[in-house]
Structure 1
Amino acid sequence: MEVASHMEYVKLPGTDMTSSALALGTWPIGGALWGGTDEQKSLRTLQRAFDSGFTCIDTANDYGYGKAQELVGRAVKQAGNRDRILLSDKCAINWTQDGSLYRDGSRARLTEEIDLALKRLQTDYIDIFHVHWPDPSTPMAETAEAMRQIKESGRIRAVGVSNFTVDQIAAFEQVCPVDVIQPPFNLFEQQTLTSLEPVLEGRDIAVMTYSALCRGLLSTAAPQDKDRDIDVRSMDPKFQSPHMEHYQQAVQALDTLARERFDKRVIHLALRWLIDRGETHLPIWAARDPEQLNVVSELWDFQIDDDTMREIDRIIAQHIGESFGPEGFMAPPLASEL
């Protein structure tokens, strides 16, 4: 891994791409389920990310119904750095006239989405294009064939799948090879990536992961009450009693550990833990405010040793035990379920 003064860089296995050790996530920038968006602040956040060494930006068509893509496209164009930026985008989500999201992995939708994404992002290719959620109402072969054809057309460099199970990845790969997988993964949500070990064993495949700070739960030792009722956290059982109290206890214990061993805070520990985990190649950290990125410069002067890794596991087991991932409350419904 190459080391810079303010960022580390990593080669993504199975690809010819090199990325910053963290990718910037843009779901909050899109505004939907995050209390709205401030365009100028969002553009400043993206510019701060570039200045901090981020070279991968992750977005999706359903982040603000295309708003996040448009802002990313504007920021990259203003910075003039497209040749140095990896754009990671997602597809297979549609919405009704009233804005209700639903999964749509049809060939027609994916064909429409790649054209819209290229227009909004102001580019003629996307580096990594993920199927955001599997769509059981569409034959997997149809979704995979559409992705294969999009890649063969040169409009994308790599095919990704997000929130897929082992069996779903196997079915997809009967038609189209998968270059990148993107499951949720953070200190409190480890089980989904663990379940994908059969896919990773013996393979050169890149692993991007989302929800680095568990929707803000790992960003500070203080209680996370602000705006909880108006954004995606209102759907997350972790932010509801009695679970919230258990997670707060774990966060406070992790914050104490970070202070005592590294003179850091829980946010540094949570992000460095992701970087130092061998099975994670590119964690996605979402931000919506430039000041949130100030912490980036404080991540590169320490590493988490094996003993601290074990102590982290002990703290989580003590306060939480078995956890649960975001699939149950974040997955868009099928069209038939609306």
Structure 2
Amino acid sequence: MKRQLGTSELQVSPLTLGTFAIGGLMWGGNDKKDSIEAIRESIAHGVTSIDTAPFYGVGLSEEVIGEAIKGTDRSKVEILTKFGLVWEQDVKGTVAFDAQIDGKTVPIYKNGRKENVIREVENSLRRLQTDYIDLIQLHWPDVETPVSETMEAMEQLLKSGKVRAIGVSNYDRALLEEGLQTAQIHSDQVSYSMLNRSIEEELLPFAMEKNVGIIAYSPLERGLLTGKYSNGTGTLSSDDHRNGYFQQFDPQKLNTLLQALNDLASAKQCSVAQLVLVWTMNQKGITTVLGGARNAEQAIHNAQALHVQLSDSELNQIRSFIQN
């Protein structure tokens, strides 16, 4: 069932556990016990790939993952982490945005410099309590650092055995093409959902041509495509960034789409969220899809999507829903 990531030897599960919410930062926090159970149940139900980043909870997400996978067969779990968003005030770069950390407004820097790449990977290895990372990814492009410098740093890590595959995140076609001139990039992690299919125009065809795996994040649009937040049943804490994020979508069009998806999901005896994940996993060029989970129940629910089958006609039917 696992899929090869680009030209690397790394095999990942079609569905990957996303751990931004587990880190808590910008997502309203999460209970540590629930987080650990979510990770362990994901692995137990076939979602063996886990995506994280140092920025997710300023190290917390990686630490929780490290604790959760203790005692498991490390060769059966794929850890995907990142570098390049720095909060430590003695390590600077290009200011990306401000974040609230421990009640204080702290600038977050983009930094793709070689010395920072090496530094962050060493810190991630320590937090994750492992001696290698399956996939290391540049979190966001850093315009002040030459693309070649960042690629060369990842190539060095690959040759040293500290990482098994190298990737980027949020790279458009032009940046990906430039990066490929220096290193054999194995993946690009980008936003992709039924409501956001812009990568289909240029990036996705180019990635397929160059055999670069696409890791799709936000397939559920941060929970919006579950239907939970369109019918009034979902509540968000005041510090949850989705309060503003959801406002960009047309409520009427969203509700029409969700109703159509709900009808098909009922016929398939699955949830709308599972249907959305399955559709996304089955799109050409998509290697794996991120699905977040805060607790065991959500993790198991997401993993059950691996067993939902969609015919070609049903996949095309869904595409007709989202193009209306």
TM-score for both structures, normalised by structure 2 = 0.88
Residue pair 2:10, 2:165 contacting (<8 A) in 1 also: no
| Aligned equivalents of 1:36, 1:99: Cα separation in 2 | 17
Identity within the alignment, %: 31
1:140-159 equivalent positions in 2, closer than 5 A: 140-159=147-166
Residue pair 1:276, 1:303 contacting (<8 A) in 2 also: no
Is 1:177–2:184 an aligned residue pair? yes
| Aligned equivalents of 1:117, 1:133: Cα separation in 2 | 17
State the Cα distance separating 1:242 from its structure 2 match.
6.6
Q: Partner letter of residue 22 of structure 2? A: I
> Residue 109 of structure 1 aligns to a residue in which SS?
helix
State the Cα distance separating 1:129 from its structure 2 match.
0.3
> Residue 175 of structure 2 aligns to a residue in which SS?
helix
| Aligned equivalents of 1:106, 1:148: Cα separation in 2 | 13
Moved more, 288-297 or 193-202: 193-202
2:96 match: none
State the Cα distance separating 1:193 from its structure 2 match.
4.7
1:61-140 equivalent positions in 2, closer than 5 A: 61-77=54-70, 79-95=71-87, 97=89, 98-140=105-147
Moved more, 137-146 or 163-172: 137-146
Residue pair 1:221, 1:252 contacting (<8 A) in 2 also: no
Note closer, same or farther for the CA distance 1:228–1:109 as it changes in structure 2 (3 Å cut). same
1:2-13 equivalent positions in 2, closer than 5 A: 2=1, 9-13=2-6
1:218-297 equivalent positions in 2, closer than 5 A: 218-220=225-227, 223=230, 225-227=234-236, 229-236=238-245, 239-240=246-247, 243-260=250-267, 262-296=268-302
Q: Partner letter of residue 269 of structure 1? A: L
1:215 paired residue among 210, 216, 222: 222
| Aligned equivalents of 2:273, 2:77: Cα separation in 1 | 25
1:20 paired residue among 13, 33, 45: 13
Residue pair 2:5, 2:186 contacting (<8 A) in 1 also: no
Q: Partner letter of residue 226 of structure 1? A: T
State the Cα distance separating 1:132 from its structure 2 match.
0.8
TM-score for both structures, normalised by structure 1 = 0.84
Q: Partner letter of residue 240 of structure 2? A: D
1:329 match: none
Q: Partner letter of residue 197 of structure 1? A: L
> Residue 134 of structure 2 aligns to a residue in which SS?
strand
| Aligned equivalents of 2:224, 2:133: Cα separation in 1 | 31
Moved more, 138-147 or 302-311: 302-311
Residue pair 2:191, 2:218 contacting (<8 A) in 1 also: yes
Q: Partner letter of residue 79 of structure 2? A: L
Residue pair 1:221, 1:248 contacting (<8 A) in 2 also: no
2:29 match: 36
Gaps of 5+ in 2: 90-104
| Aligned equivalents of 1:220, 1:187: Cα separation in 2 | 13
Q: Partner letter of residue 55 of structure 2? A: D
| Aligned equivalents of 1:235, 1:143: Cα separation in 2 | 33
Note closer, same or farther for the CA distance 1:306–1:37 as it changes in structure 2 (3 Å cut). same
| Aligned equivalents of 2:162, 2:204: Cα separation in 1 | 30
Note closer, same or farther for the CA distance 1:168–1:222 as it changes in structure 2 (3 Å cut). closer
| Aligned equivalents of 1:201, 1:297: Cα separation in 2 | 26
| Aligned equivalents of 1:315, 1:145: Cα separation in 2 | 43
Is 1:311–2:317 an aligned residue pair? yes
Matched length = 307
Is 1:161–2:168 an aligned residue pair? yes
| Aligned equivalents of 1:241, 1:120: Cα separation in 2 | 36
Gaps of 5+ in 1: 3-8, 319-338
Q: Partner letter of residue 272 of structure 2? A: V
1:206 match: 213
Residue pair 2:125, 2:133 contacting (<8 A) in 1 also: yes
State the Cα distance separating 1:198 from its structure 2 match.
4.4
State the Cα distance separating 1:134 from its structure 2 match.
0.5
State the Cα distance separating 1:245 from its structure 2 match.
4.0
| Aligned equivalents of 2:177, 2:138: Cα separation in 1 | 14
Moved more, 227-236 or 84-93: 227-236
Note closer, same or farther for the CA distance 1:201–1:57 as it changes in structure 2 (3 Å cut). closer
| Aligned equivalents of 2:60, 2:26: Cα separation in 1 | 13
Residue pair 2:46, 2:303 contacting (<8 A) in 1 also: no
Moved more, 296-305 or 143-152: 296-305
State the Cα distance separating 1:50 from its structure 2 match.
1.6
